[in-house]
Amino acid sequence: MIAVADIPLFVLASALVACGIRWAVWIVVPWTALVAAGMAVYATATTLSGWGALLMALAAMGSIAAGIVIVCGRAPVEWIVSGPFAFRTADDEGRTRLAVRIFRQMLLFWVLFLGVLPLGISALESRWMLAVDVPVAVRIGGGVLFVATGALGIWSAVSMLVKGEGTPLPAHMARHLVISGPYRYVRNPMAVAGIAQGVAVGLALGSWMVVAYALCGSLIWNTLVRPQEEADLSARFGAEFDEYRNDVSCWIPRLPKGHRAAVTTSGSSASPAP
């Protein structure tokens, strides 16, 4: 029955969209999402067709993204940083209140994105018979990685509070450019910590789907969010941020160019003359 309905609701409607008849998007996308939801319910209820449910869910996400692009005529990436997530400089409300905001932000992030969602994904992975056996050493390594990257996240948040007088969230961004603490070695230590924590949770749970979820989050953040955030920082801090961006890596921690040059100069001056 689903295959028969697919012909007019997906195949023919997709052909209409390809021919420039945009209203057919409102047939293709809902139908794809409905089939994906039905597959997910079937796989969860019966433990059968887990791969089909996963692939159909990915197909539905692709259809929704394509539908948005067709309706809007472009990819409206600015939607991600609009409303409560729009870039705004933090008010001068004192460090105590900002510290409370940071605590709530991190607690929400840890509970939702490192707790509820990974546990739900892991449960589906098991129910859909997609789980794989993971050595105990990998699970322990995930726990160690979580603690280490959690410490990096806290260090980054404290640096943002003390040096920047702001929070990591776009709605309460730092009032001053932060280039000390972990920001001295990598431009986005909070993102590095959050993504690594997601991977760590996946390893600790023995869930490859949670690891994939964290890595997909990194791609979305790096591709859609980071360019807008850095454009905002460049507009607010000008040449100071541009110089910092050129000097410090985005993802891979390393010594800043200026510090490396100083070390090289010091080393060469201390060397005996030939």
Say how far apart CA 168 and CA 122 lie, in whole Å. 28
Q: Average pLDDT, stretch 127-156?
A: 95
- Statement: residue 258 has pLDDT above 70: no
- For tokens 């969602």, name the residue: 117
* Three-state SS annotation for 45-96: HHCCCHHHHHHHHHHHHHHHHHHHHHHHCCCCHHHHHCHHHCCCECCCCCHH
Of the candidates 206, 245, 201, 213, which has an alpha carbon nearest to the alpha carbon of residue 227?
245
Per-residue model confidence as pLDDT tens digits over 59-69: 999 999 999 99
Of the candidates 164, 168, 174, 191, which has an alpha carbon nearest to the alpha carbon of residue 251?
191
Say how far apart CA 169 and CA 139 lie, in whole Å. 30
Domain segments of the chain: what residues?
Answer: 2-72, 87-256
- Statement: residue 163 has pLDDT above 50: yes
Beta carbons within 10 angstroms of residue 174's beta carbon: 22
* Topology at the third CATH level for domain 87-256: Four Helix Bundle (Hemerythrin (Met), subunit A) (1.20.120)
Residue 251 CB contacts under 8 Å (≥ 6 apart), including other chains: 186, 188, 192, 222
The proportion of the chain whose per-residue pLDDT surpasses 70, expressed as a percent, equals: 93
**Confidence class of residue 256 from pLDDT cuts 50, 70 and 90?**
low
- For tokens 């201390």, name the residue: 270
Say how far apart CA 36 and CA 95 lie, in whole Å. 47
Mean pLDDT of the chain: 89
Q: Average pLDDT, stretch 18-34?
A: 95
Residue 138 CB contacts under 8 Å (≥ 6 apart), including other chains: 203, 206
Say how far apart CA 21 and CA 240 lie, in whole Å. 48
Q: Average pLDDT, stretch 152-168?
A: 92
Sequential DSSP letters for 227-240 = HHHHHHHHHHHTHH
- For tokens 């159909």, name the residue: 56
- Statement: residue 271 has pLDDT above 80: no
Determine the pLDDT at residue 2.
80
- For tokens 């490192």, name the residue: 114
Furthest C-alpha separation in the chain = 85
**Confidence class of residue 133 from pLDDT cuts 50, 70 and 90?**
very high
Q: What are phi and psi of 89, to 5 degrees?
A: -75, 140
Say how far apart CA 253 and CA 257 lie, in whole Å. 12
